[in-house]
Amino acid sequence: MSTPPRPYRPVVPLPLPPGPAVLDLLPQLADALAGRGPARLPVPADDPAAAARLVDALAGGPLGPGEDDPADPTAFVVGTSGSTGPPKGALLPVSALAASAAATTDRLAGGAAAPGTWLLTVPPHHVAGLQVLLRSLVAGTEPVVLAPPFRADRFARAVARLPAGPRYVSLVPTQLSRVLADPTATAALATFTAVLVGGAATDPVLLAAARTAGARVVTTYGMSETCGGCVYDGVPLAGVRAELLPGGEEPATDGVGRVRLRGPVVARGYRGRPADPAFGSDDEGRWFATADLARWSTDGHLQVIGRVDDVLVTGGEKVHPVLVETAVAGVAGVGAVVVVGVPDARWGQRVVAVVVTDGGDGPDEQAIATAARTAGGRAAVPRMVLTIDELPLRGPGKPDRTALTAWATQRVDRDG
């Protein structure tokens, strides 16, 4: 008698609260990490609408063909933080999470024998927060959890609860900025073995300030599809390779290309999208073609310069917003900046800089123009500089470019 086919495992929502109560769910996370039970779909316990959106899109029915493997079960289906359309669910197998944890520990610990303790400050249903919990399980330590809202004084008190020994934390740039504005929190930040900063581009001025204050900052690049950060300070983790492709097929020739990531940390695909062209595999293993553009620095570090769909075209010339933002962030008076393109009958898109000032009289527009021209040429010079009290954010601290573009378009239409 033939053996009946193995039934595909279900996908079960796992509501994760944002505060210390998440520690009660560590046994379930440990089961998932070991491939026991169903695949888990992390959802925010404190946001029913967002949770329902993820469940509706990703939790219906069992895993399908190619979405699971008895020898390497899918542990988690992690929703992406895309700003438009239904969320996509990255299928993270046990092997990918194990490879990510091992490579991260190898890079951060530098051969240290003692396991480190993590401080959780970001939402646990996002891949960065989930990984803090999973890395703690692998290390055999219990993380300290900071309940929202994030404030510098609460951060400092949470750091005081960490035991002696190596300690790690993942922050988004806005959190890092708030910490550096408070002397006590800044001193606490300097006690970490490594401070991972990711989720959004971090301007060099902020990084320099953190390092000057004694923080051991490590910039991270990655996404749900790669089990979180897999390139640290521009260098891929062990087993990971980054390639630059103009269209996903041939090597880049102009120095800027679309990032394709290879290695054991790559997800096996998207939930319900068996033929999604972003994923593939060959004799060298799995790969994921991102929607990000990057170039290699002269010393061989990967420099991400924005997303493919963020590139602006003004007067027939391409402008990479992140390059301009990085330059403008160093101008006196600029607290934060996002560069967007608004529709323009003559130029196609008008380059607009949306700036949060750091107090005082605000930045000098001529200084902004000079910085932008140096970074991206004449086309990169903003035709308007608009100020805003606070940047709208989405996901794990990323500026909401769609919302900012709509806001800037309204301002331009109103003011001319």
**Among 200-204, 246-250, 311-315, whose mean pLDDT is lowest?**
246-250
| Structure tokens belonging to residue 158 | 């949470």
In a domain? residue 6: no
Question: What is the mean pLDDT of the segment spanning 234-248?
Answer: 88
Q: Are residues 70 and 190 in the same domain?
A: yes
Distance of alpha carbon 179 from alpha carbon 371, whole angstroms = 27
Q: Are residues 21 and 153 in the same domain?
A: yes
Q: Are residues 409 and 318 in the same domain?
A: yes
Domain closes at, from 238, 269, 296: 296
Q: Are residues 334 and 269 in the same domain?
A: no
pLDDT at residue 127 above 50? yes
pLDDT at residue 248 above 60? no
In a domain? residue 342: yes
Burial class (CB in 10 A: 0-12, 13-18, 19+), 204: exposed
Closest CA to 264 of 126, 98, 136, 139: 98
Q: Are residues 194 and 233 in the same domain?
A: yes
- Can you give the residue range of the structural domain that contains 122? 11-296
Residue 76, pLDDT score: 98
In a domain? residue 242: yes
Report how far apart the first and last C-alpha atoms of the chain are (Å, whole number).
78
Q: Are residues 292 and 316 in the same domain?
A: no
Q: Are residues 105 and 192 in the same domain?
A: yes
Burial class (CB in 10 A: 0-12, 13-18, 19+), 60: exposed
Residue 7, pLDDT score: 65
* pLDDT one-digit tens code per residue, 279-309: 999 988 899 999 999 999 999 999 998 888 8
Distance of alpha carbon 89 from alpha carbon 76, whole angstroms = 9
Q: Are residues 179 and 42 in the same domain?
A: yes
Cβ atoms of residues 352 and 412 within 8 Å: yes
- The per-residue pLDDT of the chain, averaged, comes to 91
* pLDDT one-digit tens code per residue, 370-399: 999 998 899 999 999 999 999 998 766 778
Residue 3, pLDDT score: 45
Question: Structurally, how many domains does the chain consist of?
Answer: 2
In a domain? residue 301: no
- 205 vs 368, higher pLDDT: 368
* pLDDT one-digit tens code per residue, 333-372: 998 899 999 999 888 999 999 999 987 777 899 999 999 9
Residue 255, pLDDT score: 84
pLDDT at residue 252 above 60? no
Residue 114, pLDDT score: 67
Domain closes at, from 268, 296, 324: 296
Q: Are residues 242 and 367 in the same domain?
A: no
Q: Are residues 34 and 98 in the same domain?
A: yes
Q: Are residues 285 and 365 in the same domain?
A: no
Residue 81, pLDDT score: 63
Cβ atoms of residues 170 and 144 within 8 Å: no
279-282 and 257-262: which strand pairing? unpaired
Q: Are residues 96 and 196 in the same domain?
A: yes
Task: Give Dmax over CA atoms of the chain in angstroms.
Answer: 82
In a domain? residue 302: no
In a domain? residue 59: yes
Question: What is the mean pLDDT of the segment spanning 51-61?
Answer: 93
Domain closes at, from 270, 296, 322: 296
Cβ atoms of residues 50 and 43 within 8 Å: yes
Model confidence at 2, in pLDDT bands (50, 70, 90)? very low
- Cβ neighbours, 10 Å, residue 117: 21
Q: In this structure, what CATH number is given to the domain that contains residue 370?
A: 3.30.300.30
Distance of alpha carbon 301 from alpha carbon 338, whole angstroms = 24
pLDDT at residue 32 above 90? yes
Percent of the chain with pLDDT over 70: 93
pTM across the whole model:
0.87
| Structure tokens belonging to residue 172 | 């988004």
Q: 269 vs 24, 44, 217, 272, 341, CA distance in Å? A: 30, 22, 31, 9, 32
In a domain? residue 389: yes
Q: In this structure, what CATH number is given to the domain that contains residue 91?
A: 3.40.50.12780
In a domain? residue 277: yes
Name residues whose C-beta falls within 8 Å of residue 113's C-beta, 6 or more positions apart in sequence. none
